[in-house]
Amino acid sequence: MRSHIRPSGPSAAGGHSRVLFRLAQCVPFMVVLLALGIELSPAHAIITGPLLAAMPALASLTMGPKGILSAAAGAFTVTVITATLHHSWGGQVYSNLVSLLVVSAASVTMSNAMRTRRQSELNQVRRVAEAAQRVLLRPVPPRLGPVRMASKYLAAETGAQIGGDLYEAVHTRYGVRMIVGDVRGKGLPAVRLAAAVLGAFREAAHYDEDVAEVVNHCAAALERERAALSELDPADQDGLTEDFVTALVAQVSDAFVVEVVNRGHPPPLVLRRGKVVALIPACPLPPLGLEDLMTDPPAEVESYPFAPGDRLLLHTDGVIEARSPDGDFFPLPETAESVRPCTPSEFLEGLHQELIRHTHGYLADDAAMLLAERLDEAGDSNAPDRRTWAERPRGRR
């Protein structure tokens, strides 16, 4: 039933904003029609010329040159028709027409100048965001030890390339370790929290043998960063202390298993022979930053079969919670099964295209995906599977 819930929150707010913007674009033309109705009614003694002359300037607030010229053409037509109908050609009408032409020319010029300035500022923001993305969310290498890798990040905010989602994959002496996470909140504080968690992961992944200890280091780094942000902005201390990060850390070593620690994050998917299996944790744990909610000691790392040719898809909730205009959630498992066999990067690009098609190009939240394909000892992903899914042990380490 969840797939038929109507959008609410950010997606619904975005839809309402677009509707209001469309209505605002109609205002100049509605005023022109109103002026025409007044001129054709017994109340034609009311002077509408100065009102019509202001329509190009009003149109420039929400439209470009074409919209401005359309509003000006409508006002010009109404002025000429009514002046001819009422035989009122004279100094006042000519003055109104000159005012209309001057306002139209000024509005088009100012609109072009502002559009150029906004585009220049947007390009600058994009360059800065792309530089920050390369530092914080750098692309993963195509090959790390026993796996082939690919990553994809989509920012929801217009003009931005970075947000509160995070991912990373590193090759360590313990195996290939991956993390994917999602920070509660938006803006620069969310980016700082994401950077703190990523920095802790990149450091601890090389030195901590236990995957659970890597996650604990990430949680400690998050707590320190929240305290630092609270000191910078005491007025928002309550909000910052409530921020948390859903995170999932996975490890692929020489053994044909994947070890997972899930801290309140959407479960990853294993793709095997065209079928998808969700790795749902046996003992759900709270997100990073909400350790106070733990009533029992943290569960041990959970292990799952991961044979040559299998693919592990880590993702954030921005993927599975993306909605169509009708309110339907993006069917990630079904879509993953329908993507034709291809390389990891091509696979994520296929999911990306299906996601954009499903949402009609509008994402209400950031979306990140990380894909790892298990190779055999020789690096050949086409090696035969030694055991079936049912034959492989599944449980905790």
Q: Which of 352, 373, 371 lies closest to 363 in space, CA to CA?
A: 352
How high is the pLDDT of residue 298?
63
How high is the pLDDT of residue 394?
41
How high is the pLDDT of residue 386?
38
How high is the pLDDT of residue 218?
93
Q: How confident is residue 164, by pLDDT bands cut at 50, 70 and 90?
A: confident
pLDDT digit string, tens, across residues 221-273: 999 988 887 777 665 555 555 688 999 999 998 889 999 999 999 999 999 98
d(CA 291, CA 269): 26
How high is the pLDDT of residue 183?
87
How high is the pLDDT of residue 271?
93
Q: Which of 247, 135, 139 lies closest to 195 in space, CA to CA?
A: 135
Task: Give strand pairing partners of 370.
Answer: 151, 314
How high is the pLDDT of residue 236?
54
| Structural domains of the chain, with CATH | 2-127 (no CATH), 140-181+246-396 (3.60.40.10)
Q: What is the β-pairing status of strands 175-183 and 367-374? A: unpaired
How high is the pLDDT of residue 235?
56
* pLDDT higher than 80, residue 148: yes
How high is the pLDDT of residue 241?
54
d(CA 14, CA 244): 25
Mean pLDDT of 167-174: 94
- DSSP 8-class letter at 278: E
How high is the pLDDT of residue 252?
94
Position with higher pLDDT, 254 vs 14: 254
How high is the pLDDT of residue 280?
92
DSSP of 42-69, one letter per residue? TTTTS--HHHHHTHHHHHTTT--HHHHH
How high is the pLDDT of residue 296?
63
Question: For all residues of the chain together, what is the average pLDDT?
Answer: 81
* pLDDT higher than 90, residue 40: no
* pLDDT higher than 80, residue 175: yes
Which one of 22-26, 52-56, 194-198 scores highest in mean pLDDT?
A: 194-198
Q: What is the β-pairing status of strands 147-154 and 165-172? A: unpaired
Q: Which helix (H) or strand (E) segment is 148 a member of?
A: strand 147-154
d(CA 266, CA 282): 13
Q: How confident is residue 15, by pLDDT bands cut at 50, 70 and 90?
A: low
Please tell me whether residue 158 adopts helix, strand or coil conformation.
Answer: coil
* pLDDT higher than 80, residue 364: no
Cβ atoms of residues 166 and 317 within 8 Å: no
Q: Which helix (H) or strand (E) segment is 106 a member of?
A: helix 91-136
* pLDDT higher than 80, residue 3: no
Percent of the chain whose predicted confidence (pLDDT) is above 90: 33
Q: Which helix (H) or strand (E) segment is 334 a member of?
A: helix 332-338
* pLDDT higher than 90, residue 185: no
**What's the order of all strands across the beta sheet hosting 257-263?**
165-172, 175-183, 245-252, 257-263, 302-305, 395-396
Q: Which of 24, 22, 96, 99 lies closest to 59 in space, CA to CA?
A: 24
pLDDT digit string, tens, across residues 334-353: 999 988 888 999 999 999 99
Q: How confident is residue 304, by pLDDT bands cut at 50, 70 and 90?
A: very high
Lowest mean pLDDT among 161-170, 231-240, 309-318: 231-240
pLDDT digit string, tens, across residues 189-225: 788 888 899 999 999 999 999 999 999 999 999 999 8
**134-140 contact pairs (CB < 8 A, 24+):** 136/162, 136/166, 136/191, 136/194, 136/195, 136/198, 137/162, 137/165, 137/166, 137/167, 137/368, 140/167, 140/168, 140/169, 140/370
